[in-house]
Amino acid sequence: MSATSKFTEDILTVAKEKAQSIVTGAEAETQRMLEEAKAHSAREAEETLSNARAEAEGIRRRKLSEVRHKLKIQEQSEKSKILTDVIEQTKVRGADIVKDSSKYFAYVASLIAAGVREIGLEAVVVHLNSRDLKHIDLRRLELEVAKTVGKSVKIEFSKEPIEALGGAIVASEDGRTRILNTLDQRFEALEPTLLIEAGKILFGE
């Protein structure tokens, strides 16, 4: 073999070895990259799955919270309706007092007397509804009020009826001071207490 052929063969051998080394290295790098890609994909998949689980749990909790909130609102709404019905029934029964003329007369006299004491004047104007103006003996009512107060009181009964279930408004002669002692006002003042008591009885609250 000539020196040139030997040189060429050596060159080819080195080239083949170098090429094989490069191929082997490339294959190893490719395998490493594939393994990394698989590992990365697995991590991404696990992260995605974990995120999906977390999102699903978050959605579940939000939905449960929304459902509980809606149920609470519905419960409160139903309780409110029941309590409103109770209050309305109480008002209806309370208004029945006007049907018993003797009891109602004494009740109106006591309301006017309370107004007279509160306003602290010797002369007052009393406002009644149209029914009471027609059916109550006003002179007798004035005497009953004086008896209850314990002193003579000059009462002028206004000819202008008020819009009320019953009771009276006691006012100064100039109209600047007014004491509301109507049935409507009494119910309104008692309503918070009635709601609390009804809630305790009905719902244990």
From residue 106, give the alpha-carbon distance in Å to each of 15, 23, 45, 110: 127, 117, 85, 6
Report the distance separating Cα 126 and Cα 171, nearest Å.
6
Q: 45 pLDDT band (50/70/90 cuts)?
A: low
Predicted confidence (pLDDT) at residue 27 exceeds the cutoff of 90: no
Predicted TM-score (pTM) of the model is 0.56
DSSP secondary structure, 65-101, as one string: HHHHHHHHHHHHHHHHHHHHHHHHHHHHHHHGGGGSH
Q: Check if the beta carbon of residue 159 is closer than 8 Å to that of residue 190.
A: no
> What digits encode the pLDDT tens for the residues 48-87?
667 767 776 777 778 767 767 776 777 677 767 776 776 6
Report the distance separating Cα 155 and Cα 128, nearest Å.
12
Tell me what the mean pLDDT of segment 2-24 comes to: 51
Highest mean pLDDT among 62-66, 126-130, 151-155, 191-195: 126-130
Torsion angles phi and psi, residue 142, rounded to 5: -60, -40
Mean pLDDT of the chain: 78
Tell me what the mean pLDDT of segment 145-153 comes to: 92
Cβ neighbours for 204, distance < 8 A, ≥ 6 positions apart: none
Tell me what the mean pLDDT of segment 142-168 comes to: 93
